[in-house]
A and B are shown apart, each in its own frame.
Chain A
């Protein structure tokens, strides 16, 4: 008897959840979010191209850091405005999957660069002529 009473309640909760999730995560934006995303993307793309093509800064490191910062910001803009990421979609699982992937990617990238940089600095120096004669 108790299971009978329980089942419809469960069903209801299920339906409510469905209706709720459909409204939020169906991946719909409005014209406004798309246009905001587009304008921001154009600006965030144009600036790094201008920095490199116009040779604005003498410092290469500063330019490189700025390029990476603009790329990171633009990726976030795309995620929010075009991919409609939000912490509520699919009960938070898309964000969880994203965070997990980012952690894996960060470990993999940092580890690869670290190890291979050390390997490179410990290699015997080579001149271009030596390289040309390599097998």
Chain B
């Protein structure tokens, strides 16, 4: 009887140790669920823009304001940053630290170019008197595109943090996991941007 209790006792910690490994594997699922909740935030903002996007309050319309070539360049920047992040992940799998860092740096630069162009656009709009307070259309536009821009900003901060981590600690399992989370985050932002340029810019200019 006591022997049986002892074996059970001895087994219990072993089972617990196995469980300890579990969070490692489910980080990706947890992060994916976070991304899905983020997706809901953007869905609400898209719905808001869909409802308010035609209410110009006798102000400028998207066709007056949006510079489609600029938006196309912006889209290209984000798409390039997506593919270069993919290259960084491929180098990470090859255990090539310096190459990973190089491609992460390129990704960051494309991200910064995207942000710079977006801030230039915002500055230009506000300078023209088409700020967020002008009409319901512009309020929802600035909220939606601004939220996406904030996500990219935090993505870049996260990217720089990870570059420092990789530089200091190398491609240890923890850093690999973090890089994979950021990879999902970064590609997810590109997916959201598809919705933004299609639904907000192209459909807006179309009228």
Residues of A at the B interface (CB closer than 8 Å) are: 3-4, 7, 11, 14, 18, 21-22, 25-31, 34-35, 37-38, 41-42, 45, 48-49, 51-53, 60, 63-64, 67-68, 70-71, 74-75, 78-79, 82-83, 89-90, 93-94, 97-98, 100-101, 104-105, 108-109, 112-113, 116, 128, 131-132
- Cα–Cα, bound, A98→B33 (Å): 8
Residues of B within 8 A of A131 (CB): 57-58
- Judging by beta carbons under 8 Å apart, are B68 and A97 in contact? no
| Cβ-defined contact, B18 with A14, below 8 A | yes
- Between A and B, 16 residue pairs with Cβ closer than 8 Å are A3-B11, A4-B11, A27-B180, A31-B90, A34-B83, A37-B83, A38-B82, A75-B191, A82-B82, A83-B191, A97-B36, A98-B36, A101-B40, A105-B39, A105-B40, A112-B50
Q: Which of A51, A75, A89 has the most CB of B within 10 A?
A: A75
Q: Choose among B43, B51, B180, B188 the residue that contacts A26 (Cβ–Cβ < 8 A).
A: B180
* Choice from B15, B32, B36, B46 contacting A90 with Cβ under 8 Å: B32
Q: Which of B15, B58, B190, B199 contacts A7 (CB 8 A)?
A: B15
Nearest opposing residue in chain B for A27, CB measure = B180
Chain A's closest residue to B52 (CB) is A116
Query: Chain B contacts of A97 at CB under 8 A?
Result: 29, 32-33, 36
Instruction: Contact check, B86 vs A82: say whether CB atoms are below 8 A apart.
Output: yes
Q: Give the A-binding residues of B (Cβ under 8 A).
A: 7-8, 11, 14-15, 18, 21, 25-26, 28-29, 32-33, 36, 39-40, 43-44, 46-47, 50-51, 57-58, 68-69, 71-72, 75-76, 79, 82-83, 86-87, 89-90, 93, 180, 183-184, 187-188, 190-191, 194-195, 197-199, 202-203, 205-207
Indicate whether A112 sits within 8 Å of B47 (C-beta atoms), given known contacts A25-B28, A82-B86.
yes
What are the 4 tightest A-B residue pairs by CB atom distance, in nearest-first order? A71-B198, A128-B58, A34-B86, A82-B187
For A27, the chain B residues whose CB sits under 8 A away are: 28, 89, 180, 183-184
The reply to whether A67 and B198 form a contact with Cβ atoms under 8 Å apart is yes
CB–CB B68/A21 < 8 A:
no
Are the C-beta atoms of B202 and A38 separated by less than 8 Å?
no
Out of A79, A90, A104, which one reaches B28, CB within 8 Å? A90
Interface residue from B40, B47, B194, B202 paired with A52 (Cβ < 8 Å): B202
Interfacial chain B residues near A75, Cβ < 8 Å: 191, 194-195
| A109 (CB) vs chain B CBs: closest residue | B47
What are the residues of chain A within 8 A of B21 when measuring CB–CB? Answer: 18
When chains A and B are docked, how far (Å) is the Cα of A31 from the Cα of B75? 22
- Please tell me if the beta carbons of A64 and B32 are within 8 angstroms of each other in the complex: no
Q: How far is the CA of A106 from the CA of B126 in the complex (A)?
A: 33
What are the residues of chain A within 8 A of B58 when measuring CB–CB? 128, 131-132
In the complex, which residues of chain A have a beta carbon less than 8 angstroms from the beta carbon of B29?
Answer: 90, 93-94, 97
A108 to B39, CA, bound (A): 12
- B50's partner among A98, A104, A109 (CB-CB below 8 A) is A109
Q: Are B25 and A109 in contact (CB under 8 A)?
A: no
Does B89 contact A108, Cβ atoms closer than 8 Å?
no
| Pair B72/A78 contact, Cβ less than 8 Å | no
